[in-house]
Structure 1
Amino acid sequence: MYAHTKHEIVACERCRSPFECKANSFTKCQCMTVQLNINETQYISEQYDGCLCAACLTELRDEYRAEINE
C-alpha cells in the first residue's frame, strides 16, 4: 500500500488522511512546517491528542486566529 519508509504512517486525528509521522525526528516532520505560538498550540491540544497533518494544523491555527479577532 505505501512505499517502504523508516517512519510510521499514521492517520491525522482530525481528517484521517495518512501521512508519515517523524516523531523521532520531529524537526523533519511535516507538522514543523506550520508555525504555532503557545496560545495556538494550547487551543489545538485542548481538542486533539494525536498527530495532525500540516493542512489541519494550518486550518486550526487560522480558526483560532479568527476567533480571537472577532
Structure 2
Amino acid sequence: MKLEKEADLFAVRSLISEDDYNEFISESNFTRQSILDFAGQMGIHPGIVVGRLQHDRFVDFRSLNDLRVRYQIQ
C-alpha cells in the first residue's frame, strides 16, 4: 500500500503541472472535450486527467471511464 501511495504521488507531481491542473479545475468544466483538450495541451493521455479528476472527486468514478485504459496483469 505504501508503494502504491508513493507511485500515486509521483504521478501527481510529474505528469500534470500543479499550476496547470489548478487552473483547469478552477474552470469547473469537466466535459469530455475539455478533458481531451487539456490532456492534449499537457501531452498526456486523457485517462490520466480523468483518473486524477476522479481521485480528487471532481468527477464521479463512474463517469468518463471510456477515456481510461485498463491494464490486466497476468
Range of TM-score over shorter length: under 0.3
Q: Which has the higher helix share?
A: 2
TM-score of the pair, normalised by structure 1 = 0.26
Greater relative contact order structure (CA < 8 Å, 6+ sep) = 1
Specify the structure having the higher radius of gyration (Cα): 1
